[in-house]
Amino acid sequence: MSRTAKRLIRPLNNLRSGAAYPASRKQVREDVLNEEEQLYLIGKARTMPGTANELQSASNRYHQNGAAEKVLGAVYTPPRVAAALTRWAVRSASDKVLDPSSGEGVFMSAARTRLADLGARRPQCVGVDVHAQTAAATGAVCEDFFSWVRSAPKFDVVVGNPPFIRSHLFPEGSRRLAFGEMVRMGLKPSRLMSTWAPFLAVCCSVLVPTGRLAMVIPEELLHVGYAQELREFLVRRFRRVIVCLPSHEIFQEVQQAVVLLLCDNENAAESGILSIEYPALEEGDFDDLTPAEPWAWNPKWTHLFLTAQERRLVNQWWPRLDWRPFRAYGRVEVGVVTGDNDFFVLDEDQAGAFGEKHLMPIVGGAKDLRGITFGANDFRRVLSEKRPAFLLRLDAPVDQLPKPIRAYLELGEQRNVHIRYKCRIRDPWYAVPSAWESDALLLRQSGEMPRLVHLAKKCTATDTVHRVTWDRPSLGKRHSVSFMNTWTLMASELTGRSYGGGVLELMPSEANRLPLPEPSAALDDIFEAVDERVRSRNFYDALALVDEVVMPGWMSRGARQSAENILAKLIKRRKTRYHANH
Ligand SMILES: C[S@@+](CC[C@H](N)C(=O)[O-])C[C@H]1O[C@@H](n2cnc3c(N)ncnc32)[C@H](O)[C@@H]1O
C-alpha cells in the first residue's frame, strides 16, 4: 500500500479500534468518508496528481451531492461533537449505551472511551446500522433499527445522529415499522416526517425511566409543523430538554443545519427547555444552562435562535406591549387556486376579447406589489408591462358563454387544462372557485421582509400572495403601515419558515397570530412616506418611521435598538444559513 493510501486509511482504522480522536480538521474530513469512498480516493490518489485537493473536493462532493448519503441519510458527526454529547450522557461505568444508527461508529467509539474512563471493564455499548458493510466494519448489529427495536432491551443512554432521510425517500417497510412504534407510544406519526423524527421518538421508548438521550438532530426539530407533537412529547418525557445550536464551523461539510439535543430526568434546579452555548457544552460546563421557555404565541422553538440575553429582553417587553393578534382585526387567507395560472390569468391583450363581465382584476405575484399600497397607477403599470392582470371568471354552462370564450375553452381542452388536478375535481372545470376581491394582500414569500399591501384598487390575487379581509376596512391603510414595524417583523421571522435561498414564507395560520399595533390615527401621517421608502427599497428607513409611531413611550432607545438588532440578526440568519438540499 502506498504512503498516501496508508495515510488515508489510518483514521478509519483508528476509529474502528476506538483510538484517539483526530486532532486536525483535515483528519476529521478523512474520517467522515466511508470505506468505499476512501478506497475510491486511494485509487484516485495513485493515478492523479494533487491528492489533497482531490480528496478535499471529492469529500465536499460526497457531502453535498452524494446519492448514497441521501438514501441512507448519512450526515456524519465530527468526533469532538460525539465526544462532548457522550461525555454528558454516559455517567457511570455500568451504563448501557445505544447508538441506533451507528454509521462509522463515531459515537460507539466515544462511548467506549467514556465508559473506559469511568472504569468500565466490559463497556456495554450497542450500535445498530442498516448498512451491511458499515455495520460489519464497526461491530454493529446490521438491521433496520425500527425492526430491531421491537425486541430490544432497555438502555441507560441513547447517543447518535439519526439518518436525515426526507419523507419521499423513507423506505416504505421501514416507515411502516417506525410509525407502528410511534403509535404504540401514543404519538401520531405523519407521512411528511423525515426519518430523524421517528428515530428520535422511538429512541425515547428504549430508555429506562432515568435514561438520557444526546443526539444530533436537524434544526427542523425547532420549527417544522410535523414535529410539534414531538416537541411537546420531549418536554413531557424529560425534566430537562437542553438544546445547543452549534455554529457552522462545527458541522462544516454538512448542508443541513443541526441542533444538539440533550434530554434527561435529572433532579436539577432548572427544568424544562434550556439552552447551552457550544463551547460550554464541549467543556462540560453545564452551570451555563439558560431557561428557554417558548412564547405562548409561538408554538415553535425558534426562540432558541436568540441568545439567552436576547430572549430575556423579549420576555420583558412582549407582555408590556400587549399587542393584539392579526386575527383580532381581520383574517388572512390563501389566494385563488386556479389550477393553471397560465390559462386562467391573462394579460390585457389576451383578455381583450372576453368582456369585463367575465374578468376580475388579479395580482399575479409579489413582483407587482412594490409599496404598501396598490392603486390604479400600479395596476396600469402591470398592464403596460404586459403582465397577467385579469382572472377569467366563468361559471355559466358552456353554451351560455360568448363565442370567443368558448373557443378559448376548447383551446384549453386541447392543451389538457381540463384534466389538471384542480380543474378536473370541479364542475365545470373552468369555474375557478373563491374568486373574491380582498381589502389587502400579504406577501406569502419575501426575500427581505414580509409586507402588508393596502388595496386602493380592489382585486383578488393568485395563491402566491395571501388575501386579507379587515373587520373594519376603513382602518386598512393604517394596518398596512403599522405592519412595517420591528416587532411584527421579528415575530414573522420567528413564526414563518425559510427555504433555500433564504426566502421567508408565512402561512395564513402563522400570519393570523402575528402581533399588530393599534391602528392609531398618527399612522395616517406617515402612510405616504413609508410607501415611498418601501418602493425605493429603503426598508429600514420605512421601519424607523413606523417604529417612531407605534413603539410605546416607555420603551427606551436602547431597548428599541436591541429589538432592531435582533430583527437584523434573524434576517441575516435566514439569508445565510445552510439549507437542506435533500
Ligand atoms: C447520519 S448517519 C450517522 C452516523 C453516525 N451515527 C454519526 O453520527 O456519524 C446515519 C446512519 O444511519 C444509517 N441508517 C439509515 N437508515 C437506518 C435504519 N432504518 N436503521 C438503522 N440505521 C439506519 C445509515 O446507514 C447511516 O450510517
The H or E element that residue 116 is part of is: helix 106-117
- Contacts (Cβ under 8 Å, ≥6 apart) of 404: 353, 354
For residue 171, give the ligand 1 atom closest to its CA: 19
Which residue out of 31, 34, 130, 169 has the highest number of ligand 1 atoms within 8 Å of its CB and is therefore the one to mutate? 130
How far apart are alpha carbons 580 and 64 in whole angstroms?
Answer: 10
Cis omega (within 30 of 0) on the bond before 428? yes
* Closest listed residue to residue 290, CA positions, set 299, 298, 280: 280
Q: Is 33 exposed, middle or buried (0-12, 13-18, 19+ CB in 10 A)?
A: buried
How far apart are alpha carbons 78 and 88 in whole angstroms?
Answer: 16
Which residue out of 76, 109, 129 has the highest number of ligand 1 atoms within 8 Å of its CB and is therefore the one to mutate? 129
- Ramachandran bin of 95, using left for φ above 0, alpha for ψ from -120 to 50, beta for the remaining angles: beta
For residue 318, report the distance from its CA to the centre of ligand 1, in Å: 42
Does ligand 1 come within 6 angstroms of the Cβ of 102? yes
pLDDT at 43: 33
Half-sphere exposure (CA, 13 Å, Cβ side) for 13?
7
For residue 75, give the ligand 1 atom closest to its CA: 1
Q: Whose CA is nearest to atom 18 of ligand 1?
A: 144
For residue 73, report the distance from its CA to the centre of ligand 1, in Å: 7
For residue 33, report the distance from its CA to the centre of ligand 1, in Å: 14
Does ligand 1 come within 6 angstroms of the Cβ of 128? yes
For residue 144, report the distance from its CA to the centre of ligand 1, in Å: 10
How far apart are alpha carbons 439 and 227 in whole angstroms?
Answer: 34
For residue 170, report the distance from its CA to the centre of ligand 1, in Å: 13
For residue 157, report the distance from its CA to the centre of ligand 1, in Å: 17
Does ligand 1 come within 6 angstroms of the Cβ of 127? no
- Angle made by CA atoms 481, 482, 483, in degrees to the nearest 5: 95
- Contacts (Cβ under 8 Å, ≥6 apart) of 113: 18, 83, 86
Does ligand 1 come within 6 angstroms of the Cβ of 305? no
For residue 274, report the distance from its CA to the centre of ligand 1, in Å: 27
Which residue out of 34, 72, 158, 164 has the highest number of ligand 1 atoms within 8 Å of its CB and is therefore the one to mutate? 72
DSSP letters for 78-104 = PHHHHHHHHHHH--STT-EEEETT-TT
* Closest listed residue to residue 245, CA positions, set 193, 200, 301, 163: 301
How far apart are alpha carbons 133 and 131 in whole angstroms?
Answer: 6
Pairing verdict, β 359-363 and 452-461? parallel
pLDDT at 250: 76
How far apart are alpha carbons 385 and 347 in whole angstroms?
Answer: 9
For residue 415, report the distance from its CA to the centre of ligand 1, in Å: 46
Q: Whose CA is nearest to atom 2 of ligand 1?
A: 74
For residue 178, give the ligand 1 atom closest to its CA: 19
The H or E element that residue 360 is part of is: strand 359-363
For residue 103, report the distance from its CA to the centre of ligand 1, in Å: 5
Does ligand 1 come within 6 angstroms of the Cβ of 103? yes
209 within 8 A of 173, measured Cβ to Cβ: no
153 within 8 A of 207, measured Cβ to Cβ: no
How far apart are alpha carbons 137 and 16 in whole angstroms?
Answer: 7
Assign 3-state DSSP to the chain and report helix, strand, coil percentages, each to 5: 50, 15, 35
Does ligand 1 come within 6 angstroms of the Cβ of 519? no
Query: Backbone phi, then psi, for 202, in 5-degree steps?
Result: -70, -30
Does ligand 1 come within 6 angstroms of the Cβ of 213? no
Residue 52 CA, distance from chain mean position? 35
pLDDT at 316: 87
- Number of H-type helices and E-type strands within the chain: 25, 22
For residue 103, give the ligand 1 atom closest to its CA: 27
Copy the grid coordinates of residue 85.
Answer: 454529547
How far apart are alpha carbons 548 and 558 in whole angstroms?
Answer: 13
Strands (E), 149-257: 155-160, 207-218, 240-244
- Contacts (Cβ under 8 Å, ≥6 apart) of 501: 447, 579
Does ligand 1 come within 6 angstroms of the Cβ of 74? yes
78 within 8 A of 282, measured Cβ to Cβ: no
Does ligand 1 come within 6 angstroms of the Cβ of 498? no
For residue 275, report the distance from its CA to the centre of ligand 1, in Å: 26
Does ligand 1 come within 6 angstroms of the Cβ of 78? no
The residues that bridge with 291 in the sheet, in sequence order, are 274
For residue 178, report the distance from its CA to the centre of ligand 1, in Å: 14
Does ligand 1 come within 6 angstroms of the Cβ of 159? no
Does ligand 1 come within 6 angstroms of the Cβ of 251? no
Query: Backbone phi, then psi, for 224, in 5-degree steps?
Result: -65, 145
pTM (two decimals): 0.78
For residue 280, report the distance from its CA to the centre of ligand 1, in Å: 27
* Closest listed residue to residue 110, CA positions, set 207, 215, 217: 215
pLDDT, averaged per 10 consecutive residues of the chain (582 residues), comes to 40 31 30 35 33 34 44 72 97 98 95 97 95 94 97 98 91 96 97 96 98 95 94 97 87 75 92 95 92 86 93 87 94 96 95 90 95 97 96 93 94 95 94 95 95 96 97 98 97 87 92 95 98 97 96 90 94 74 33
Helices marked H in 238-307? 278-283
pLDDT at 296: 77
For residue 558, report the distance from its CA to the centre of ligand 1, in Å: 48
Strands (E), 368-464: 373-374, 390-392, 438-443, 445-446, 452-461
For residue 160, report the distance from its CA to the centre of ligand 1, in Å: 9
547 within 8 A of 560, measured Cβ to Cβ: yes
How far apart are alpha carbons 131 and 101 in whole angstroms?
Answer: 9
For residue 185, report the distance from its CA to the centre of ligand 1, in Å: 22
Residue whose C-alpha cell reads 407582555 in the numeric block: 319
Helices marked H in 385-537? 403-414, 421-424, 476-482, 486-495, 508-513, 522-535
465 within 8 A of 539, measured Cβ to Cβ: no
The residues that bridge with 391 in the sheet, in sequence order, are 345, 360
Domains belonging to the chain, first-starting first, are 3-72 (no CATH), 79-293 (3.40.50.150), 330-338+435-580 (no CATH)
Does ligand 1 come within 6 angstroms of the Cβ of 161? yes
398 within 8 A of 409, measured Cβ to Cβ: yes
Q: Whose CA is nearest to atom 4 of ligand 1?
A: 103
Query: Backbone phi, then psi, for 374, in 5-degree steps?
Result: -130, 115
Does ligand 1 come within 6 angstroms of the Cβ of 108? no
